[in-house]
Amino acid sequence: MTDDVDPDELSDPNDLAGLQVVITGRLEHHKRGESRDLVNWLGATVTKSISKQTDLVIVGDNPGSTKHGFAVEHDIPRLSGKEFYQLFGAWFLPTVLDVEEYL
């Protein structure tokens, strides 16, 4: 785990560049593949399995207990799906949509 990742300080899409990210559960407004593509587009590498090298876990609806539990146990920084949209949604949500609907 990278010690300098602080979810409270993430605000710019470049903040995810180079991080190893795991998504567990479903992000409310995107299919699994779309969520992975969005996080990749923001510069992170998305992996399917969690490890001590994981920098950040994005926790969507109905998260897998194994991944979420591992993140908690190993103090890996986590963002909820809602927090993810609040921080980065403006960078990829279509401008024709009402962003407030996603928050």
Q: 58-83, pLDDT tens digit by residue?
A: 999 999 889 999 999 999 999 998 88
pTM, full prediction: 0.77
Check residue 96 and give its pLDDT: 37
Question: How far is C-alpha 99 from the chain's CA centre?
Answer: 18
Check residue 52 and give its pLDDT: 94
Q: 26-59, pLDDT tens digit by residue?
A: 888 777 888 888 888 888 999 999 999 999 999 9
Of the candidates 37, 45, 39, the residue with the CA atom closest to the CA atom of residue 59: 39
Domains of the chain (ranges, CATH numbers):
8-89 (3.40.50.10190)
